[in-house]
Structure 1
Amino acid sequence: MNRDRVNPDTVTLTVTPALADLADARGVGVEELAAEALRRYVADEATRTRVAATGLAQRHQSLLRRLGE
């Protein structure tokens, strides 16, 4: 695959029988199910990142304060 021609705003997903069956059972399209899963994943990762960053900032509060002076 030529990476110069890949759209960075597009996700390519192989539709497995399990994914198609799940989408069918939920009464949604495969694209909708995949988009929902991706939104949940990104939200979960953002939360984990915020929690980790907050913890780091709290543990290094005095250093950050000194660097800001």
Structure 2
Amino acid sequence: MSHSTERMLNRVKAIYMYINESGPVTTQQLVDEFGTTKRTIQRDLNVLTYNNLVASPTRGEWNTTSKKVKIAQ
């Protein structure tokens, strides 16, 4: 796996865990927390949404779904 892919997967995992612990959170809170661009956060949220791990019932506010997740270390 390439270094950039591994970095992206680690960030996506960290975003999921942050939302799970702190949710609901806004997109801007994620940008501030992870020190990256809004576009990068949006791409990561798209991955999580596609896998039914997060949802945005209110535009720009994110929660985790009830889907069961086993987080590998």
**TM-score exceeds 0.5:** no
Higher-RCO chain (CA-CA 8 Å, sequence separation at least 6): 2
Bigger strand fraction: 2
What is the TM-score with the length of structure 1 in the denominator? Answer: 0.33
> More helix per residue: 1 or 2?
1
